[in-house]
Chains A and B, each alone.
Chain A
Amino acid sequence: DGGITQSPKYLFRKEGQNVTLSCEQNLNHDAMYWYRQDPGQGLRLIYYSQIVNDFQKGDIAEGYSVSREKKESFPLTVTSAQKNPTAFYLCASSISQHEAFFGQGTRLTVV
């Protein structure tokens, strides 16, 4: 089943801990994106990447980090510097100027 997979579906983190969200795609897409979805605020871009070993900050990159060591993978780390990390996180991939495909999302809760 081809597509884009995010794991885990639910994630709990203690305050002060870093946590990494996984995003894998087998669509051979070059571009990958991370968004944060909060009620009433829509999707806000955290980081995006066009090719391996290259990524750009989005609108709300503070407190987050990413890597793009492989074309298929674009993990997002939520660091302890992120003051309000509880949210729904969406990963997407696309071929340039074409449709973006989204994962099912990861709901992160800080406890």
Chain B
Amino acid sequence: AQRVTQPEKLLSVFKGAPVELKCNYSYSGSPELFWYVQYSRQRLQLLLRHISRESIKGFTADLNKGETSFHLKKPFAQEEDSAMYYCALSGPMGTSGSARQLTFGSGTQLTVLP
């Protein structure tokens, strides 16, 4: 079974401080990992995915297979980063072509204080 754990429900940092949102996963294979973000009154949307190795809005995330982690980091937090962040995992297509399960963690509410 695949599982995503985000240990922090709430996280507050001051503007300009570094921020790290933790994500650990459980999956027997090679998963695809994602971070999604939900700003106030907006739809849930993709922030970044590990296969593209890109930095979006200053955020990065490195997949650590040894520690089964995919922590989200930003060196200098901004007030507009305040949002709900979800880590997500997707497994490969089933051998019979069945659907791929996309599993989310419980989310971390980030608040960046002025």
Task: Mark out the residues of chain A between 19 and 55 whose CB falls within 8 Å of any chain B CB in the assembled complex.
Answer: 31, 33, 35, 40-45, 48-51, 54-55
Instruction: Tell me if B83 counts as interface (CB < 8 A to partner A).
Output: no
Known contacts A42-B86, A43-B86, A102-B43: does B32 contact A97 (CB below 8 Å)? yes
Contact B102 A48 (CB under 8 A): yes
The CA of A42 and the CA of B86, in the complex, are separated in Å by 8
Identify the closest chain A residue to B49 (Cβ). A99
Q: Please, how many angstroms separate the alpha-carbon atoms of A96 and B46 in the complex?
A: 14
Residue B69, interface by CB 8 Å: no
Find out whether the CB atom of B105 lies under 8 angstroms from the CB atom of A104: no
Is A58 an interface position by the 8 A CB rule?
Answer: yes
| A43-B104, A97-B32 known; A56+B99 contact, CB < 8 A | yes
What is the count of residue pairs linking A and B with beta-carbon distances less than 8 angstroms?
67
Query: Chain B interface (Cβ within 8 Å of chain A)?
Result: 6, 9, 32, 34, 36, 43-46, 49, 51, 86, 88, 90, 92-93, 97-107
The 7 closest A-B pairs by CB, nearest first: A50-B99, A42-B106, A43-B104, A102-B44, A42-B107, A99-B46, A48-B99
CA–CA, A94 and B34, complex, Å: 13
Query: With A42-B105, A102-B45, A104-B43 in contact, is A50–B86 under 8 Å at CB?
Result: no
A63 proximal to B (CB < 8 A): no
